[in-house]
Structure 1
Amino acid sequence: MRRTALGVAACALLLAGCGGAHSPQLSAAAGFVPQPALADMAAGYLTVRNDGDADDALTSVTTSLAARVTLHTTDGTRMKQVDRLDVPAGGLLELARGGNHLMLEKLDRKPRVGEKVTLTLHFAKSEPIEIQVPVEPTSYRPEGE
Protein backbone atom coordinates (compact mmCIF):
# COMPACT_ATOMS: atom_id res chain seq x y z
CA MET A 1 0.00 0.00 0.00
CA ARG A 2 2.84 2.35 0.87
CA ARG A 3 4.51 1.72 -2.52
CA THR A 4 1.25 2.51 -4.31
CA ALA A 5 0.86 5.81 -2.46
CA LEU A 6 4.44 6.77 -3.30
CA GLY A 7 3.87 5.81 -6.93
CA VAL A 8 0.72 7.95 -7.15
CA ALA A 9 2.52 10.91 -5.55
CA ALA A 10 5.45 10.55 -7.97
CA CYS A 11 3.10 10.43 -10.97
CA ALA A 12 1.23 13.51 -9.74
CA LEU A 13 4.50 15.43 -9.40
CA LEU A 14 5.65 14.31 -12.82
CA LEU A 15 2.38 15.36 -14.47
CA ALA A 16 2.37 18.71 -12.69
CA GLY A 17 5.90 19.37 -13.89
CA CYS A 18 5.04 18.49 -17.47
CA GLY A 19 1.91 20.63 -17.46
CA GLY A 20 3.82 23.69 -16.32
CA ALA A 21 6.55 23.32 -18.94
CA HIS A 22 4.42 24.72 -21.76
CA SER A 23 4.06 28.47 -21.53
CA PRO A 24 4.31 31.59 -23.67
CA GLN A 25 7.39 33.81 -23.26
CA LEU A 26 6.44 37.21 -24.59
CA SER A 27 8.31 40.40 -25.34
CA ALA A 28 7.33 43.53 -27.25
CA ALA A 29 9.42 45.87 -29.42
CA ALA A 30 9.59 47.98 -32.56
CA GLY A 31 6.57 50.06 -31.64
CA PHE A 32 5.52 53.53 -32.73
CA VAL A 33 2.52 55.82 -32.99
CA PRO A 34 2.38 58.03 -36.08
CA GLN A 35 1.51 61.62 -35.20
CA PRO A 36 -2.25 61.58 -35.69
CA ALA A 37 -3.96 63.71 -38.30
CA LEU A 38 -7.09 63.83 -36.13
CA ALA A 39 -7.17 65.32 -32.66
CA ASP A 40 -9.06 62.41 -31.07
CA MET A 41 -7.73 59.23 -32.74
CA ALA A 42 -4.35 57.62 -33.50
CA ALA A 43 -3.00 54.30 -34.73
CA GLY A 44 -0.41 52.17 -32.94
CA TYR A 45 2.01 49.58 -34.25
CA LEU A 46 4.42 47.14 -32.58
CA THR A 47 5.63 43.54 -32.62
CA VAL A 48 4.98 40.93 -29.93
CA ARG A 49 7.41 38.01 -29.96
CA ASN A 50 6.60 34.65 -28.36
CA ASP A 51 9.72 32.60 -27.64
CA GLY A 52 7.68 30.10 -25.63
CA ASP A 53 6.12 26.80 -26.63
CA ALA A 54 2.48 27.78 -26.02
CA ASP A 55 0.17 30.16 -27.86
CA ASP A 56 -1.20 33.31 -26.26
CA ALA A 57 -3.39 36.20 -27.40
CA LEU A 58 -3.34 39.96 -27.05
CA THR A 59 -6.72 40.75 -25.52
CA SER A 60 -6.52 44.47 -24.76
CA VAL A 61 -4.25 47.49 -24.57
CA THR A 62 -4.43 50.44 -22.19
CA THR A 63 -2.75 53.83 -22.18
CA SER A 64 -3.22 57.08 -20.29
CA LEU A 65 -3.27 58.91 -23.64
CA ALA A 66 -6.60 57.45 -24.80
CA ALA A 67 -9.92 56.57 -23.19
CA ARG A 68 -10.05 53.38 -25.24
CA VAL A 69 -7.73 51.24 -27.38
CA THR A 70 -9.23 48.77 -29.83
CA LEU A 71 -7.62 45.88 -31.72
CA HIS A 72 -8.09 45.68 -35.49
CA THR A 73 -7.34 43.38 -38.40
CA THR A 74 -7.22 44.52 -42.01
CA ASP A 75 -8.29 42.42 -44.98
CA GLY A 76 -7.64 44.28 -48.22
CA THR A 77 -9.17 47.69 -47.52
CA ARG A 78 -11.58 46.48 -44.81
CA MET A 79 -10.71 47.15 -41.20
CA LYS A 80 -12.42 44.98 -38.57
CA GLN A 81 -12.41 45.38 -34.79
CA VAL A 82 -11.62 42.12 -32.96
CA ASP A 83 -11.56 40.94 -29.33
CA ARG A 84 -8.11 39.35 -29.53
CA LEU A 85 -5.06 38.91 -31.74
CA ASP A 86 -3.21 35.59 -31.59
CA VAL A 87 0.46 35.38 -30.59
CA PRO A 88 1.57 31.92 -31.83
CA ALA A 89 4.11 29.80 -29.97
CA GLY A 90 7.57 30.44 -31.43
CA GLY A 91 6.16 33.23 -33.59
CA LEU A 92 5.25 36.89 -33.90
CA LEU A 93 2.22 39.13 -33.77
CA GLU A 94 3.07 42.04 -36.03
CA LEU A 95 1.01 45.19 -35.85
CA ALA A 96 1.91 47.23 -38.93
CA ARG A 97 0.46 49.64 -41.48
CA GLY A 98 -1.97 47.85 -43.78
CA GLY A 99 -2.41 44.94 -41.37
CA ASN A 100 -3.23 44.28 -37.73
CA HIS A 101 -3.05 47.47 -35.67
CA LEU A 102 -4.23 49.37 -32.61
CA MET A 103 -6.64 52.30 -32.65
CA LEU A 104 -6.21 54.76 -29.79
CA GLU A 105 -9.61 56.42 -29.46
CA LYS A 106 -10.79 59.53 -27.61
CA LEU A 107 -7.28 60.91 -27.11
CA ASP A 108 -6.77 63.16 -24.09
CA ARG A 109 -4.56 65.31 -26.33
CA LYS A 110 -2.79 65.10 -29.67
CA PRO A 111 0.71 63.67 -29.07
CA ARG A 112 3.73 65.39 -30.61
CA VAL A 113 6.59 63.90 -32.61
CA GLY A 114 9.40 62.81 -30.31
CA GLU A 115 7.36 62.13 -27.19
CA LYS A 116 6.86 58.62 -25.81
CA VAL A 117 3.52 56.90 -25.33
CA THR A 118 3.25 54.16 -22.71
CA LEU A 119 1.15 51.17 -23.80
CA THR A 120 0.24 48.30 -21.48
CA LEU A 121 -0.42 45.08 -23.38
CA HIS A 122 -2.79 42.57 -21.75
CA PHE A 123 -2.81 38.89 -22.71
CA ALA A 124 -5.03 35.85 -22.23
CA LYS A 125 -2.32 33.87 -20.36
CA SER A 126 0.75 36.04 -19.75
CA GLU A 127 1.34 38.93 -17.41
CA PRO A 128 0.90 42.43 -18.92
CA ILE A 129 3.83 44.02 -20.75
CA GLU A 130 4.45 47.77 -20.60
CA ILE A 131 6.20 49.32 -23.58
CA GLN A 132 7.08 52.92 -24.40
CA VAL A 133 6.75 53.77 -28.07
CA PRO A 134 7.83 56.98 -29.79
CA VAL A 135 5.51 59.30 -31.67
CA GLU A 136 6.87 59.50 -35.21
CA PRO A 137 5.99 61.83 -38.12
CA THR A 138 2.77 60.88 -39.91
CA SER A 139 4.73 59.73 -42.97
CA TYR A 140 7.18 57.55 -40.96
CA ARG A 141 7.86 54.08 -42.35
CA PRO A 142 10.15 51.67 -40.43
CA GLU A 143 12.90 49.93 -42.38
CA GLY A 144 11.58 46.94 -44.27
CA GLU A 145 8.02 48.22 -44.42
Structure 2
Amino acid sequence: MTRRTTALFAAVALVPVLALTGCSSDSSGDSAGSAASGGKPRLEISGAFMPQPATDMAGGFLTITNGSGTADKLLSVTSSLSDDVTIHETKNQKMREVKSFDIPANGELKLERGGNHIMFMELKKQPKQGEKIDVELHFEKADPIAVELPVEAATHNPKQH
Protein backbone atom coordinates (compact mmCIF):
# COMPACT_ATOMS: atom_id res chain seq x y z
CA MET A 1 0.00 0.00 0.00
CA THR A 2 1.38 3.41 -0.88
CA ARG A 3 1.95 6.14 1.69
CA ARG A 4 -0.78 8.24 0.08
CA THR A 5 -3.30 5.36 0.15
CA THR A 6 -2.48 4.60 3.79
CA ALA A 7 -2.90 8.27 4.67
CA LEU A 8 -6.22 8.39 2.80
CA PHE A 9 -7.55 5.35 4.70
CA ALA A 10 -6.46 6.94 7.98
CA ALA A 11 -8.06 10.26 7.03
CA VAL A 12 -11.34 8.56 6.08
CA ALA A 13 -11.31 6.83 9.45
CA LEU A 14 -11.09 10.28 11.06
CA VAL A 15 -14.33 11.54 9.44
CA PRO A 16 -16.74 9.87 11.94
CA VAL A 17 -14.78 11.42 14.82
CA LEU A 18 -15.08 14.84 13.19
CA ALA A 19 -18.80 14.32 12.52
CA LEU A 20 -19.54 13.30 16.11
CA THR A 21 -18.23 16.52 17.56
CA GLY A 22 -20.33 19.02 15.64
CA CYS A 23 -19.19 21.96 13.58
CA SER A 24 -17.73 25.41 13.94
CA SER A 25 -19.67 28.52 13.06
CA ASP A 26 -18.93 30.93 15.86
CA SER A 27 -17.68 34.40 15.11
CA SER A 28 -14.72 34.51 17.46
CA GLY A 29 -11.16 34.13 16.28
CA ASP A 30 -8.64 35.91 14.15
CA SER A 31 -9.72 37.98 11.20
CA ALA A 32 -7.97 39.58 8.28
CA GLY A 33 -9.00 41.24 5.08
CA SER A 34 -7.61 42.03 1.69
CA ALA A 35 -7.44 45.43 0.10
CA ALA A 36 -10.85 46.73 -0.92
CA SER A 37 -9.39 48.47 -3.96
CA GLY A 38 -9.07 46.90 -7.38
CA GLY A 39 -12.24 44.82 -7.08
CA LYS A 40 -10.61 42.27 -4.79
CA PRO A 41 -12.88 40.39 -2.42
CA ARG A 42 -12.94 41.54 1.23
CA LEU A 43 -12.43 38.36 3.22
CA GLU A 44 -12.64 37.92 6.98
CA ILE A 45 -11.66 34.79 8.92
CA SER A 46 -13.48 33.73 12.08
CA GLY A 47 -13.93 30.72 14.33
CA ALA A 48 -10.51 29.25 13.49
CA PHE A 49 -9.33 26.22 15.48
CA MET A 50 -7.61 22.85 15.34
CA PRO A 51 -8.64 20.00 17.65
CA GLN A 52 -5.60 18.53 19.40
CA PRO A 53 -4.54 15.66 17.13
CA ALA A 54 -4.04 12.11 18.42
CA THR A 55 -2.11 10.94 15.35
CA ASP A 56 0.19 12.46 12.74
CA MET A 57 -2.87 14.01 11.05
CA ALA A 58 -5.05 16.94 12.05
CA GLY A 59 -8.07 18.87 10.85
CA GLY A 60 -8.43 22.62 10.67
CA PHE A 61 -11.70 24.55 10.79
CA LEU A 62 -12.72 28.16 10.19
CA THR A 63 -15.23 30.38 8.42
CA ILE A 64 -14.33 32.73 5.58
CA THR A 65 -16.81 35.59 5.15
CA ASN A 66 -16.79 37.56 1.91
CA GLY A 67 -18.01 41.11 2.52
CA SER A 68 -17.88 42.16 -1.11
CA GLY A 69 -19.74 41.65 -4.35
CA THR A 70 -16.77 39.75 -5.84
CA ALA A 71 -16.73 35.95 -5.50
CA ASP A 72 -13.42 34.17 -4.82
CA LYS A 73 -11.99 30.67 -4.34
CA LEU A 74 -9.84 29.15 -1.60
CA LEU A 75 -7.12 27.41 -3.60
CA SER A 76 -4.70 26.10 -0.97
CA VAL A 77 -3.43 26.29 2.59
CA THR A 78 0.20 26.22 3.72
CA SER A 79 1.65 25.73 7.19
CA SER A 80 4.98 25.11 8.89
CA LEU A 81 3.24 22.24 10.77
CA SER A 82 3.13 20.06 7.64
CA ASP A 83 4.40 20.00 4.07
CA ASP A 84 1.22 18.14 3.09
CA VAL A 85 -1.79 20.41 3.75
CA THR A 86 -4.87 19.89 1.59
CA ILE A 87 -8.50 20.94 1.48
CA HIS A 88 -11.23 18.29 1.61
CA GLU A 89 -14.94 18.14 1.05
CA THR A 90 -17.19 15.66 2.82
CA LYS A 91 -20.27 14.37 1.03
CA ASN A 92 -22.35 11.36 2.06
CA GLN A 93 -19.86 10.70 4.89
CA LYS A 94 -17.03 10.36 2.34
CA MET A 95 -14.06 12.69 2.29
CA ARG A 96 -12.08 13.65 -0.80
CA GLU A 97 -9.42 16.18 -1.65
CA VAL A 98 -10.55 19.10 -3.82
CA LYS A 99 -8.64 21.73 -5.79
CA SER A 100 -10.65 24.69 -4.48
CA PHE A 101 -13.69 25.89 -2.53
CA ASP A 102 -15.99 28.66 -3.78
CA ILE A 103 -16.44 31.71 -1.58
CA PRO A 104 -19.61 33.40 -2.86
CA ALA A 105 -19.95 37.16 -3.17
CA ASN A 106 -21.54 38.53 0.03
CA GLY A 107 -21.48 34.98 1.43
CA GLU A 108 -19.31 32.61 3.37
CA LEU A 109 -17.39 29.36 3.23
CA LYS A 110 -17.59 27.22 6.35
CA LEU A 111 -14.87 24.68 7.00
CA GLU A 112 -16.39 22.70 9.84
CA ARG A 113 -16.32 19.45 11.75
CA GLY A 114 -18.08 16.71 9.80
CA GLY A 115 -17.95 18.80 6.63
CA ASN A 116 -15.46 20.60 4.43
CA HIS A 117 -12.13 21.12 6.19
CA ILE A 118 -8.37 21.63 6.05
CA MET A 119 -6.35 18.40 6.39
CA PHE A 120 -2.80 18.35 7.77
CA MET A 121 -0.90 15.12 7.02
CA GLU A 122 2.42 13.87 8.40
CA LEU A 123 2.69 16.49 11.14
CA LYS A 124 6.22 17.68 11.89
CA LYS A 125 5.33 17.98 15.59
CA GLN A 126 2.41 17.10 17.82
CA PRO A 127 0.61 20.37 18.71
CA LYS A 128 -0.83 20.58 22.22
CA GLN A 129 -3.93 22.32 23.51
CA GLY A 130 -3.22 26.02 24.08
CA GLU A 131 -0.67 26.32 21.26
CA LYS A 132 -1.36 28.20 18.02
CA ILE A 133 -0.67 26.88 14.54
CA ASP A 134 0.24 29.37 11.81
CA VAL A 135 -1.39 28.83 8.43
CA GLU A 136 -1.66 30.89 5.29
CA LEU A 137 -4.76 30.77 3.11
CA HIS A 138 -4.26 31.26 -0.65
CA PHE A 139 -7.04 32.55 -2.88
CA GLU A 140 -7.74 33.01 -6.57
CA LYS A 141 -8.28 36.80 -6.29
CA ALA A 142 -7.63 38.01 -2.73
CA ASP A 143 -4.17 38.35 -1.25
CA PRO A 144 -3.02 35.51 1.03
CA ILE A 145 -4.27 35.71 4.62
CA ALA A 146 -2.20 34.53 7.59
CA VAL A 147 -4.28 32.92 10.35
CA GLU A 148 -3.47 31.37 13.72
CA LEU A 149 -5.43 28.21 14.56
CA PRO A 150 -5.67 27.82 18.35
CA VAL A 151 -5.26 24.16 19.33
CA GLU A 152 -8.33 23.15 21.32
CA ALA A 153 -9.33 19.96 23.14
CA ALA A 154 -9.84 16.99 20.80
CA THR A 155 -13.60 17.11 21.54
CA HIS A 156 -13.94 20.91 21.18
CA ASN A 157 -17.33 21.88 19.75
CA PRO A 158 -17.89 25.65 19.38
CA LYS A 159 -21.66 25.18 19.09
CA GLN A 160 -21.78 23.86 22.66
CA HIS A 161 -20.09 26.97 24.14
Normalised-by-shorter TM-score class: 0.7 to 0.9
Q: Look up the match of 1:6.
A: none
- Structure 1 runs (4+) deviating above 4 angstroms are none
Mapping of 1:1-145 within 5 angstroms?
22-38=39-55, 40-143=56-159
When the two structures are aligned, how many residues end up with a matched partner? 125
Q: Give the whole-Å Cα distance in 2 for the aligned partners of 1:113 and 1:87.
A: 30
TM-superposed deviation, 1:23: 3.4
SS in 2 for 1:97: coil
Q: Give the whole-Å Cα distance in 1 for the aligned partners of 2:133 and 2:160.
A: 23
TM-superposed deviation, 1:105: 1.1
Higher gyration radius (CA) = 1
Give the conservation status (yes or no) of the 8 Å contact 1:33–1:43.
yes
SS in 2 for 1:143: helix
TM-superposed deviation, 1:143: 2.1
1:76-126 CA-partner distances (Å, limit 9, x unpaired): 211011000111000000000111101011110110000001110000011
Question: Quick one: structure 1 residues 21 and 120, their matched pair in 2 at CA, closer, same or farther if it must change by over 3 Å?
Answer: closer
Q: Give the whole-Å Cα distance in 1 for the aligned partners of 2:136 and 2:39.
A: 24
1:35-61 CA-partner distances (Å, limit 9, x unpaired): 1111x2100000111001011000000
Q: Give the whole-Å Cα distance in 1 for the aligned partners of 2:43 and 2:73.
A: 10
Q: Give the whole-Å Cα distance in 1 for the aligned partners of 2:66 and 2:81.
A: 27
Q: Give the whole-Å Cα distance in 1 for the aligned partners of 2:96 and 2:121.
A: 15
Q: Look up the match of 1:5.
A: none
Give the alignment's TM-score, normalised by structure 2.
0.74
TM-superposed deviation, 1:135: 0.3
| Percent identity of equivalent pairs | 43
Matching residue's letter, 2:44 = S
RMSD between aligned residues: 1.5
